């Protein structure tokens, strides 16, 4: 019984058919590569508009065929080389894109500057309050006006500060003098609590 199985002929692999398909594919690719006409497919109408606007197509080769009410097939041939008008049009579109990107960046930077300005004003208010410094008639200058530009005023001057619920250094110094002269548990505890509040 084992001998019957060993005597069965082995099946041949279909290698010849695969070689035939591979050869056919290579021949097709070779003909496409050797062909002088280069084809390009356009998926959307706005892509076609760019080719026309940049004057990259031969106008005499443009053909439009109406397939139905909503679909038009367009065919044409590219110019062999871009002319000066095409290059100028492309450069214009490139500069227009750069301007758009710079405008977006300017808008983003202005928003960031506004956010940072609020933080600087808040920090300066806290500094002036906690240090107990007096503000002069002209105000307390944080950022000089030399950083102003025509599109934006960058100078920051604090004219007045808002009151806070914590003691400043001058008030703590005067309270320390009182505690030093009259050292009671009540005065010492009060000073300790006030010192903890400005941590």
| Each residue's pLDDT tens digit, 29-69 | 776 666 555 566 666 666 667 777 677 777 777 777 777 77
What is the reported pLDDT for 104?
96
Per-residue pLDDT, 107: 94
Query: In percent, how much of the chain has pLDDT > 70?
Result: 76
Which pairs with CB-CB distance under 8 Å and at least 24 residues apart come from 41-47?
A: 42/74
Among the residue ranges 80-84, 139-143, 157-161, 167-171, the one predicted with the least confidence is 167-171
Contact 188, 179 (CB under 8 A): yes
Crossing angle of helices 185-197 and 169-181, in 10° steps, is 160
Taking 90 as the threshold, does the pLDDT of residue 12 lie above it?
no
Cα–Cα dist 29/35, whole Å: 10
Report the distance separating Cα 149 and Cα 135, nearest Å: 26
Per-residue pLDDT of 79-111, as tens digits, reads 777 788 888 888 888 899 999 999 999 999 999
| pLDDT value at 5 more than 90 | no
Find the farthest-apart pair of alpha carbons in the chain and give their distance in angstroms, rounded.
120
Average the pLDDT over 147-169 and give the result. Answer: 82
Residue 160 confidence (pLDDT): 85
Return the pLDDT at 88.
Answer: 86
pTM of the model: 0.52
pLDDT score, position 128: 84
Q: What is the rounded average pLDDT of the residues 123-140? A: 84
Q: Whole-angstrom Cα distance, residue 149 to residue 143?
A: 13
pLDDT of residue 10: 59
DSSP 11: P
Mean pLDDT over 120-138 rounds to: 85
pLDDT score recorded for residue 27: 82
Residue 170 has pLDDT above 60, yes or no: yes
Task: Read off the pLDDT band of 119 (50, 70, 90).
Answer: very high
Helix (H) or strand (E) holding 176, with range, is helix 169-181
């Amino acid at each position: 019984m084992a001998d019957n199985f060993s005597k069965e002929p082995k099946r041949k692999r279909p290698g010849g058919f695969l070689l035939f398909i591979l050869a056919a594919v290579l021949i097709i690719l070779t003909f496409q590569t050797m062909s002088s006409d280069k084809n390009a497919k356009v998926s959307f109408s706005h892509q076609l508009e760019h080719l026309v606007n940049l004057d990259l197509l031969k106008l005499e080769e443009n053909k439009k065929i109406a397939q139905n009410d909503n679909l038009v097939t367009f065919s044409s041939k590219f110019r062999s080389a871009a002319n000066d008008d095409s290059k100028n049009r492309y450069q214009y579109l490139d500069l227009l894109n750069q301007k758009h990107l710079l405008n977006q960046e300017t808008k983003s930077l202005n928003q960031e500057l506004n956010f940072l300005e609020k933080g600087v004003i808040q920090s300066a208010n806290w500094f002036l309050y906690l240090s107990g410094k007096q503000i002069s008639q002209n105000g307390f200058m944080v950022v000089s006006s030399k950083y102003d530009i025509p599109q934006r005023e960058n100078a920051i001057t604090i004219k007045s500060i808002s009151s806070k619920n914590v003691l400043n250094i001058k008030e703590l110094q005067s309270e320390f003098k009182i505690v030093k002269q009259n050292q009671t548990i009540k005065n010492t505890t009060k000073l300790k609590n006030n010192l903890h509040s400005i941590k």
